[in-house]
Amino acid sequence: MVHIPHKMSSKTANAMALQHRPRKRFGQNFLRDTNVIERIVDAIHPTGDDHIIEIGPGQGALTKYLLPACRKLEVIELDRDLAAHLAEGLQKEEHFQIHQQDVLKFDFDTLDAEEKSLRIVGNLPYNISTPVMFYLLKYQHLIKDMTFMLQLEVVNRLAAKTGDKNYGRLGLMVQYHCQVEHLFNVPSAAFTPKPKVSSAIVRLAPHPTLPAPARDVNCLKLVIRTAFNQRRKILKNSLKSLVSEEVLNTLPLDTSLRPENLSLQDYVLISDAISNSDRND
């Protein structure tokens, strides 16, 4: 493991120490295990050219490793007490900025960022992890990659391949936009308070060029949602409300398969066929 040198002064580091009662309404579970933290930093591998955005820095466990290793670090923290404490402890760091705000309302276009330059990291609260990921995809033109701590179950769904039991809507739509890499798992004992579920680190890297671009992404979402809402049915039955069997039979795929047996490319074919059919009506 390559350890990022911790150049922050001990005085600053001590100033960041805070006795804070985790708040359930914010889904706060603070990472405490130094070995896990260093492994995450190693996976991110920040460089002196990086502009990093950390979501939910909490008490700064990861922040203090990232700050001395990148060109600019901005953090988004909803909790006013934690935001104030971080601001106080790091106020002398010129390349650090804190935004006390809900990430789901934050306008990333207001950042001084070049195209594909932002590196997003964070330990996302489990109750908002999926909305946050899809919200960030709206700004993928600015994002180089995203490294997140998520519930293991969610990471398994994100990285699932055709035929896997975890294969479904979430993985398909994120894989449409990003390359997904399940990096490693994190035990619940690494947190305070200890969550009831295991976690994992995942990297999402927006595709430079979409491998299977759809004519209408909203139509693709509808096709995938409709198919997996009836995942036990074969394709021609689960999608009959959207497309005729005659149209499906013109496509180079097996309509007797179930939703989990079709690839992303297959769903794009179906979506495009529906889009073309709608235009010709």
- Whether 10 has a pLDDT exceeding 50, the answer reads no
Q: What are 175-215's pLDDT values in tens digits?
A: 999 999 999 999 988 887 787 789 999 999 999 999 999 99
Q: Is residue 195 part of a domain?
A: yes
- Whether 23 has a pLDDT exceeding 70, the answer reads no
Q: Is residue 196 part of a domain?
A: yes
- Whether 1 has a pLDDT exceeding 70, the answer reads no
pTM: 0.87
Dist. CA 240–CA 275, nearest whole Å: 15
For residues 173 and 258, state if they share a domain.
no
For residues 77 and 160, state if they share a domain.
yes
Provide the terminal-to-terminal Cα distance of the chain, rounded to the nearest Å. 59
Q: What are 84-130's pLDDT values in tens digits?
A: 989 888 878 899 999 999 999 999 999 989 999 999 999 888 889 99
Residue after which a domain boundary falls, among 144, 174, 206: 206
Q: Left (φ > 0), alpha (ψ -120 to 50) or beta: where does 116 sit?
A: left
Q: Is residue 232 part of a domain?
A: yes
Mean pLDDT estimate for the chain: 88
Q: What are 226-251's pLDDT values in tens digits?
A: 999 998 999 999 999 999 989 999 99
For residues 198 and 233, state if they share a domain.
no
Dist. CA 260–CA 166, nearest whole Å: 9
Q: Is residue 212 part of a domain?
A: no
For residues 153 and 276, state if they share a domain.
no
Counting the structural domains of the chain, the total is: 2
**Closest by Cα among 90, 100, 40, 38 to 67:** 90
Q: Is residue 193 part of a domain?
A: yes
What is the band of 6 on the pLDDT scale with cuts at 50, 70, 90?
very low
Alpha-carbon distance values, 187 to 40, 91, 149, 200, 236 (Å): 13, 33, 11, 8, 42
Residue after which a domain boundary falls, among 206, 232, 264: 206
For residues 92 and 58, state if they share a domain.
yes
For residues 144 and 227, state if they share a domain.
no
Dist. CA 39–CA 3, nearest whole Å: 8
Q: Is residue 145 part of a domain?
A: yes
**Mean pLDDT of all residues in 36-44:** 95
Return the higher-pLDDT residue of 273 and 191: 273
Q: Is residue 202 part of a domain?
A: yes
Q: What is the CATH number of the domain that holds 102?
A: 3.40.50.150
Q: Is 211 helix (H, G, I), strand (E, B) or coil?
A: coil
pLDDT attached to residue 280: 57
Torsion, CA 42, CA 177, CA 118, CA 113, rounded to 10: 170
Considering only 1-5, 41-45, 130-134, 229-233, which range has the smallest mean pLDDT? 1-5
For residues 68 and 183, state if they share a domain.
yes
Residue after which a domain boundary falls, among 206, 240, 256: 206
User: Considering the chain, what percentage of its residues have pLDDT values greater than 70?
Assistant: 88
For residues 28 and 163, state if they share a domain.
yes
Domain range enclosing 224: 217-280
Q: Is residue 211 part of a domain?
A: no
**Mean pLDDT of all residues in 261-265:** 97
For residues 196 and 252, state if they share a domain.
no
Contacting residues for 8 by C-beta, under 8 A, at least 6 apart: 64, 67, 68
pLDDT attached to residue 117: 97
Q: What is the CATH number of the domain that holds 234?
A: 1.10.8.100
User: Residue 180: in which H helix or E strand, if any?
Assistant: strand 178-186
- Whether 132 has a pLDDT exceeding 80, the answer reads yes
What is the band of 277 on the pLDDT scale with cuts at 50, 70, 90?
confident
pLDDT attached to residue 254: 93
User: Residue 37: in which H helix or E strand, if any?
Assistant: helix 34-44
For residues 53 and 185, state if they share a domain.
yes
User: Residue 222: in which H helix or E strand, if any?
Assistant: helix 217-229
For residues 227 and 128, state if they share a domain.
no
For residues 201 and 76, state if they share a domain.
yes
Give the up-direction half-sphere exposure of residue 192: CA atoms within 13 A in the CB hemisphere: 9
Q: Which residue has the tokens 């179930």?
A: 258
